[in-house]
Every structure is written in structure tokens, then in C-alpha cells.
Amino acid sequence: MSSKSTDEVLTKPTSVEEGSNALEFTVSDITVCGKYVCYLTLVYFILVLIQVSNILFMTFADRKPTVKDVCEKHYPDYLLSKRCNITNCWVTTNETGNVICSTSTYDFIPIRYDFDVPTKFVKLGTTMQNVGLMIGAILAGNAADIFGRKKVLLTFTVCLIVCLIATPLAPSFVVFTVLRFFDMLFTGGKHCACIPYFMENLPDKHRMWIATIINYSPNFIVLAGIAYLCKQWKVLSWTIAGIAILPLIMIP
């Protein structure tokens, strides 16, 4: 056999190599940006919303309320009869006792109306919550490698829902902080398993722009609207728990 024919034999791809190349091309193109990917993106958006809601929860729960007291301006002569509760103030006449002025006092009821604690303790509690976020990410990362990402994601989501429901029922600020610690622990763990689970199910060429759009920024706006409608930190916690139920039903 001549050297030329030998070179042709050595350089000619075998049928196995051709099959391997064909298979690689098919696998890389098997997922496209269709209805299923749009569905996965919606589920991922909800999970990111839950993450943002828990991380920024104390921003709303401990905010200073905006006071709008118009009675003092319009009825200064009747201020001695002004009465208030945590949500409203009203002014009555001395003769008949009829309400002549009523005003919405607080736009959002924070935790300070349920727990009489100094600001430094609230800040310390918020710090402990963030520590729980980091611990949850560490625990979930290792657990996901052992048990699988989907199992860890579902387990941490269920535990998060339970803690979010229990948090508004806390009888003291200490119990509230402990429950919020576990809220953030399961939040960090859930999101640590969530990101790789969904990114691996998205087409390679669409992962970057989907991850860029579905991030914290648009969810800040959504969370602000939810908090505006809730009006109370307790209702906000229960609302987040209700939203967290959706991924349990929707995760494929």
C-alpha cells in the first residue's frame, strides 16, 4: 500500500466518529425557545419574586409609616376630642359625639405596632436573618448534589411556606426573629437550587438573555405593588406564602 493511500485511510473519519458528531449536533439543538421554555421562564420568574420578597421583607415590615392627619389642619378647635388607633384618627364634636373628620393615618402598618423594640434590636434581627440566608445557600448546595436539585427545591419551598405562615403569629420579637431566620434560610436554599435547575433546562443560546431579564430588578416593581395592596406586614407575609404555593404546582 502506498503512503498516499495510507494517509487517506488515517484521515478518513470512521462511521463511529460520524455518528458521534451527528449525535452531538442533534442534542445541542434538541431544545428550542418554544412554549415549554416560556412556561419554565414563568415558573422561574415566580421563584425569583419569592426570593426578592423575602430579602426585601424587612424594608417594608420596618418602614416608617407616612402620617396623613388632615383633621388638625381643618378642625383645630376640636383636637381635644381626637381619637386614634393604629390605622385611623377621627375628630368628634363635644355636643353630639358625631365624627366630623376622619383620616387615614398610616399607609403601611410595620412590625413596631406589634413589637415595642428599639431600632438597634430590629437591625440586629435583620442581620441574623441575612446570616440564615447564607447558611441556607450552603446547606442546599451540598444537599442538591446528593439528593437532586428538584427534591431540594420542593422541600425548601414547602418549609418556607410553613415559616411564612407562622411568622405573623409570633407572640414576641424574639420568636419573630427566629422564624424570620428560618424564612431566610429556606429562601437562600431554595434559590441556590432553583437557578441551576432552570438554567439547565433552557436552551444554551437563550440562557443569558433570560437570566438577564428574569432577575431582581423587575421584581422590585412587582413587590412594591404587592406591599402597597397588602397595607400590613402580616398580610404581606401571608401573601408571599400564597405565591410560594404556585411553584409547587407548576415545577415540571
Query: Given this model, what pLDDT does residue 35 score?
Result: 81
From the list 243, 111, 132, the residue with the least C-alpha distance to 176 is 111
The CA distance from 88 to 74, in Å, is 16
Please list the pLDDT of the chain residue by residue as tens digits (252 residues): 454 444 444 454 555 555 545 445 545 556 666 787 788 888 889 999 999 999 999 988 887 766 565 566 665 555 555 666 555 666 565 555 565 565 655 667 788 878 878 888 888 888 999 999 999 989 988 888 888 888 999 999 999 999 999 999 999 999 999 999 999 999 999 888 888 888 777 777 777 777 777 888 888 999 999 998 988 899 999 999 999 999 888 887
CATH architecture of the domain with range 35-64+109-250: Up-down Bundle (1.20)
Q: What is the pLDDT of residue 86?
A: 54
List the chain domain ranges: 35-64+109-250, 67-106
CA distance 233 to 112: 10
Using the structure block, give the residue that is written with the C-alpha cell 436573618: 129
**pLDDT (0 to 100) of residue 196:** 84
pLDDT of 10 reads 46
Residue 102 CB neighbours (<10 A): 13
C-alpha cell at 92: 368628634
CB 58 within 8 A of CB 128: no
pTM (2 d.p.): 0.73
Query: Measured between alpha carbons, how far is 130 from 127 in angstroms, rounded to an integer?
Result: 5
Amino acid 179: pLDDT? 94
